[in-house]
Amino acid sequence: MTQPLKDLSLITAKTLAHYSERAVEFWTGTREHDVKQNIDALLQYIHAASPLCILDFGCGPGRDLAAFRALGHEPIGLEGSPPLAAMAREYSGCEVWEQDFVALKLPSCRFDGIFANASLFHVPRQELPRVLSELRAALKPDGVLFTSNPRGNNEEGWNRGRYGVYHSLESWRTFLETAAFAELEHFYRPPGLPLEQQPWLASVWRKSGAPGELTSRT
């Protein structure tokens, strides 16, 4: 069911307030998370020469921005929470745009890759086709999108103060393929555990129109 505009604004405001009020706690709890597998999954499929222009979509306090910069790339962060955006600028030394996920203003054909780690699941299902279209437009031809979301059975709603959609692989594929992305790979995280202990669904997609190979791993 389509949400009225005021309800979408409330969803965004409450979710961002949740993160803003817990910015230091969030940074403490996620700073040491190892997402090298995710970073490598994005970079291995980008054909462009370094340094790469990468958008860290939902960059939080800047952990992954700093990692991309340390690898010699040119990352830009995008974050809706002002306290987290400020922390990201200070920690990474990178440019960070403060933008609402459902009210994006992105340049066309700017990025070699987009890294959406634990962020796109906050976009309400009804807005996701438009947001994905905007991300696709921001990628260069042959550009690559990485996503990682908590997986589920397509539940949508509030969970501990944050709004989220918990997509199944089949549902997520439908959204991405409809938005003109071609799947390159998907896998579940954390690595090395039984599937029932891997709550995160990661996937890599190329802007359609470019050749790509479809693989899968667990």
d(CA 16, CA 12): 6
- 38 belongs to a structural domain: no
60-110 residue pLDDT tens: 999 999 999 999 999 999 999 999 999 999 999 999 999 999 999 999 999
Range of the structural domain that residue 167 is part of:
5-29+44-209
128-139 residue pLDDT tens: 999 999 999 999
- 217 belongs to a structural domain: no
For the chain, what is the domain count? 1
d(CA 207, CA 48): 14
- Are 135 and 113 within 8 A, CB to CB? no
- 117 belongs to a structural domain: yes
- Are 180 and 169 within 8 A, CB to CB? no
Q: What pTM value is reported for the model?
A: 0.91
**Residue 69 belongs to domain with CATH number:** 3.40.50.150
